[in-house]
Amino acid sequence: MPLIRKDLAFTSPPISRSAAETLRDGTTDERWHAARALGALADAAPGGIAAAGELSDGTKALAEALKTETDLRVREAIFTSLVRIGSQECVDAVIPCLRGDDAALRTGALDALRAMIGAVRPVLPALLADPDPDIRLLACDLARELPSAEATMLLCDVLYCEPEANVCAAAVDVLADVGGAEALPALQATAVRFGDVTFLKFAVKVAMDRILAEHPVEHE
């Protein structure tokens, strides 16, 4: 789902109540406009203590709305506004959505986290070590947005200690696309450690072949 559109500059009708109240019990259109208006604070506020307070309050309102919002259009507007603000608070608001049963909500959350990867960076190691293997798997995909060296380092750490073959496969898939030659020892170790998992051994071979094709000098 597209999070950032070209029509970010928009004019919403005046909201007579607070945006937080509107997000709780307004009509669908009112909630959509309120969510967009809160995101616009990131562009309109000139900075300073007052602006920071407004952004924090706006983020809290968006985070609360995200817990209960079911309309896909409004939910997209909430995610978009959180991305526009792009603070650590916004990341903290989005991450719980990865744990839900709603596939569309998880997809929207993952797209939002990709779009503000700079703010996600500090918590990515914790996500890669999360007790839930599904979260660890999604975190591997987020690492794809990082510079090659950073992604390689994080995902190699995953390969050396991750007990789940599916999570390792996700890490291997990302390394096949963005990994550097430094990943080769970890990939080889993974193939040995999961020697009886055919699909993972094949994925490792594909990843190593791609990396060697891209980095022949480093491997010499």
End-to-end CA distance of the chain: 43
Whether 134 maps to a domain, the answer reads: no
Taking the C-alpha atoms of residue 150 and residue 44, their distance in angstroms, rounded to an integer, is 33
Residue 179, number of CB atoms within 10 A of its CB = 27
Tell which of 99, 115, 131 closes a domain: 115
- Whether residue 10 is found in the same domain as residue 101: yes
What domain range is 198 assigned to? 147-220
Are 5 and 107 part of one and the same domain? yes
DSSP code at position 66 = H
Instruction: Decide if 138 is inside a domain.
Output: no
| 127-186 tens-digit pLDDT | 999 999 999 999 999 999 999 999 999 999 999 999 999 999 999 999 999 999 999 999
Dihedral (Cα; 59, 61, 62, 67), 10-degree rounding? 130
Number of domains in the chain: 2
Does residue 9 form part of some domain? Answer: yes
Note the pLDDT tens digit of each residue in 32-86.
999 999 998 877 555 544 456 677 888 999 999 999 999 999 999 999 999 999 9
Single out the residue in 66, 99, 115 at which a domain terminates. Answer: 115
Considering the domain architecture, whether residues 104 and 183 belong to the same structural domain is answered as no
Which pTM does this prediction carry? Answer: 0.84
Pair (152, 50) in one structural domain: no
Burial code (b: 16+ CB inside 10 Å, e: under 16) for 15-42 equals beeebbebbbebeeebbbbbbbbbbbbb
User: Are 111 and 154 in a shared domain?
Assistant: no
